[in-house]
Structure 1
């Protein structure tokens, strides 16, 4: 038996449902695209947006890979600047995974920025723009929230692997002075005091 052709109305309904499947778990502000194509992270426009926002350049580390440390992957700096091999970084430091399509990530940005402004010389903050198809919007959101700490870009979601196992955002990792990831926090940070307590407890830093 031959299949009957869909009516125009039925075809439109199928298309609409497919669109809902693709966007239902994302933020409509960002237009999230699962498994996006190549993503620009360093263009003249992105560099200008980063400079206008006063976002700091990424700072490469100088350590060697360690067991339990961040993976040996080199990620580009969002909006231009030095690329960073994560395995070379040493703490104490806070590494925060976020994306433009993640609402809770935007909510906690002021917390991370205040921590950075207060304690950044002792415990730096590094953002990771994770699997984000809209880097222009990402920089715009950083600017809107006054964020100045740097971010690298994980466009291929390599941090889904150990030790971070990033499958949901936001996610914050605490890295000690030896470069070991001592705590992974798959949660929204709600206050500077909360983050300060976590840093004292897990990194042994007297803030």
Structure 2
């Protein structure tokens, strides 16, 4: 085979390999952030957020995919009053505090966001969120992108974000009562649930 024929065959092979791609069924698509996770349509959609400059002492400038439907969310774009809860379906303390978070969300006094953290089973995370009535958007951080900026030793962790986007307070560990969560919201966000 002469050189031009070999070069043409190589180009055809390369194009065929690239066209096949490497995405696996159900895997995340980096351009759309959409995955097909069983039951994800039962979760609250993640909203689009307008791009903003990162806030001083704000959430990290990382984008995370939506666990349900909706676009990826850039954490640095978020403003409060907002309660961000870091959880995982395998986390026993997360199950204990879930009713308090669900009740706060029902009050409608603050925005809520969940981040499913370091969770190898997103389908079980979706089931966890729906079974516990966590009726607010949830993101998915399988790669632990928020670990260092929020000093996540492990879930649960609850961050309180003020109206300017600054992290007003971070509660490490389990929330032990509705009264405790409501008091943290009042103390750090100035909102009475």
**TM-score grouping bracket, smaller chain normalisation:** 0.7 to 0.9
Instruction: Give the match for residue 91 of structure 2.
Output: 102
| Structure 1: gaps (5+ residues) | 1-37
TM-score with structure 2 setting the length: 0.78
Q: Determine if contact 1:65/1:87 at 8 Å carries over to the other structure.
A: yes
Question: Alignment partner of 2:39: what SS?
Answer: helix
TM-score (norm 1): 0.73
Structure 1's consecutive aligned runs of 4 or more residues displaced over 6 angstroms after TM superposition are: none
* Whole-Å separation in 1 of the counterparts to 2:84 and 2:184: 13
Corresponding residue of 1:172: 158
Structure 1 SS opposite 2:53: coil
- Deviation per CA, 1:100-133, whole angstroms, max 9, x where unpaired? 1111111211110111011x3x311100001111
What is the rounded CA distance, in whole Å, between the counterparts of 1:67 and 1:39 in structure 2?
Answer: 34
Whether 1:74 aligns to 2:63 is yes
Separation of aligned partners in 1, 2:119 and 2:27:
8
Q: Secondary structure at the match of 1:158?
A: coil
Aligned length: 163
Alpha-carbon RMSD across the aligned residues, in angstroms, is 1.9
Residue 113 of structure 1 aligns to a residue whose secondary structure is helix
Displacement, 1:149? 1.2
Which of 50, 53, 68 is the matching residue for 2:40?
50
